Each structure stands twice: as C-alpha cells, then as structure tokens.
C-alpha cells in the first residue's frame, strides 16, 4: 500500500550538485517546490556560490550544502544526517557525483586510452567515485526511506554503447555496474515504497567532463548536449506521481512538449537495448 501523500515539500539530496548536471537537476527540483541538499568534494567556495545562485534563481528556495566525498562512508553519513537535522526526512537521492575519463587522459575524447597504460590511481578513482559513491550514499539514505515507506533513488548512467566502447575503461564499466545495482535494488525495494531508476543524458554533455576547446571539445559522437535536458526527467522521477521502478530513461529522448507521464514513456529504454555482457 502506498503511504498517504504528505503536504510537506519533498526533500532531495543531489550529490555533485555544484555544477553541470547536478546543478541543473537541483535547480529544477527547487523550481518544482522541493527542498534540496547539494554536495561537492573539496570545493567549499564553489558549493556556497552554487547554493547562492540557486536561491537567486528560485526565490524562497530551501537549499542546504555539505562538502562531502560520496565515496567516503563517513561523508555519506554526514550528508544524510545533515538532511535529517535540517528537514527531518530524506525523500529522494540523486546519485550524480562521479568521475570521468579525464582522471586518466585530457584528450580521451580524441584519442582512445589504453587502460593498461593508465595510472592505477586514475583507474581506482573512477571506480570509487562512480560505483562506491552510488552504493554508499544509497546505504546512508535507504534506512530512512524504508522506515517512512517512501523514497526515490535516481542513479546517473551513460549510453549503453559507452559501457563497452574502446578506450572508455573503466568509466563505461563503472556505469554498467551502477545499472546492475539499480536493477537489483529496484527488486529488493519493490514492496517497501522506494523506487530506483536510472537516468542518463543520452550523449556527452557540455560539462567539465569533456576536455578541449573549440572544435576539439566534443563527445565521442561529435556532439555535446545541454545539461538542462536533465531538468524535466528528474522532477518526474522524484515525484509522488512516478510509480515506475527498475527503469532506464534517456533525457534527450524526453519531449518537453508532452505531459510528464507521456514524456517518460518516450524516454524509457527497453532493457533489451543494453549490451549483452556474459
């Protein structure tokens, strides 16, 4: 049975919310009336500036900040406790924090990287930031969601072709792991009021993940998408109206002109479209 809908605003944690996709999703959630806690790693001044920009863009917005490394368990606990102390609940978690191939190469988008030539530190950092941060933040937030009988988790992923793309190890593999965890969690939580879904832009986005300048600054497919395309999907996926769980949504395929539920149908990826990894 679904718990009665609360009149209180939703309370959502967005990791890596100081810039890029995280900032745009936090902005959209605030515009939709949510209270939002954003995190960033080792960038306190940038985090405070982002929060101020959000308050200016959305007058009256309730924004909290935590400097936290989401791949560190103590920081994850701190983030969850800060949210609970400020607002008394955790309704949603957007696992956006992560690292890309720039940890290994500054021109990976132009020249494929041989993972056996990459620094071990870079390889480990990508896996920690993408896989462990997703798992540990969910571990910190889920007990509270389960207790209240309601929760929304959205894990950020990448194009299915990137998971096995030449020169994208370990980034692609780390996101395959995130998708596998998401599907397992959705099954485990299906009767507990917590939905778990995957959201991806649908291509490289115009963020710090992509190196270069001018014509050299492009994704593997030659294009860069606007981070703003994440706004509508995240509002729907965090909402009480969204009943879906264990699904995968591509933001660039989400038509702005359609009502939320119909847009979600258009953006939903068939599970069979994922690479078959044996």
pLDDT score for 240: 95
pLDDT score for 61: 95
Q: How confident is the model at residue 256 (pLDDT cuts 50, 70, 90)?
A: confident
Q: What is the pLDDT of residues 202-248, one digit of tens each?
A: 876 655 544 445 444 444 555 677 889 999 999 999 999 999 999 99
Backbone angles phi and psi of 40, in degrees to 5: -155, 155
What pTM, to 2 d.p., does this model score?
A: 0.89
Using a 10 angstrom Cβ sphere, with 0-12 exposed, 13-18 middle and 19 or more buried, the burial of residue 226 is middle
Helix (H) or strand (E) holding 133: helix 133-148
Mean pLDDT of the chain: 88
Q: What is the pLDDT of residues 107-151, one digit of tens each?
A: 666 678 888 988 999 999 999 999 999 999 999 999 999 999 999
pLDDT score for 4: 46
pLDDT score for 3: 47
What is the percentage of the chain residues whose pLDDT exceeds 90? Answer: 67
pLDDT score for 108: 60
Q: How confident is the model at residue 23 (pLDDT cuts 50, 70, 90)?
A: very high
- In terms of pLDDT, which residue wins out, 3 or 108? 108
- Pairing mode, strands 35-40 and 92-95: unpaired
């Amino acid at each position: 049975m679904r718990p009665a809908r609360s009149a209180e605003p939703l309370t959502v944690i967005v990791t890596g919310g100081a810039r890029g996709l995280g900032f745009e999703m936090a902005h959209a959630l605030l515009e939709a009336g949510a209270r939002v806690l954003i995190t960033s790693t080792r960038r306190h001044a940038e985090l405070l500036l982002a929060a101020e920009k959000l308050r200016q863009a959305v007058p009256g917005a309730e924004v909290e900040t935590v400097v936290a490394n989401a791949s560190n368990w103590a920081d994850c606990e701190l983030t969850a406790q800060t949210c609970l102390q400020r607002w008394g609940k955790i309704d949603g978690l957007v696992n956006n924090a992560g690292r890309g191939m720039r940890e290994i190469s500054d021109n990976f988008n132009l020249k494929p990287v041989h993972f056996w030539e990459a620094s071990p530190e870079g390889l480990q950092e990508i896996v920690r930031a993408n896989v462990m941060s997703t798992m540990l933040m969910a571990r910190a937030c889920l007990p509270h969601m389960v207790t209240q009988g309601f929760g929304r988790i959205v894990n950020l992923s990448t194009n299915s072709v990137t998971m096995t793309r030449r020169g994208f190890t370990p980034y692609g593999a780390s996101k395959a792991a995130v998708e596998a965890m998401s599907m397992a969690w959705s099954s485990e939580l299906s009767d507990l009021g917590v939905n778990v879904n995957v959201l991806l832009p649908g291509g490289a986005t115009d963020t710090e993940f992509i190196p270069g300048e001018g014509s050299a600054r492009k994704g593997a497919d030659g294009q860069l998408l606007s981070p703003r395309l994440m706004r509508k999907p995240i509002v729907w996926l965090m909402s009480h109206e969204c009943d879906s769980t264990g699904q995968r949504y591509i933001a660039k395929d989400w038509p702005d002109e359609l009502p939320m539920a119909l847009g979600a149908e258009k953006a939903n990826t068939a599970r069979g479209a994922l690479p078959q990894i044996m």
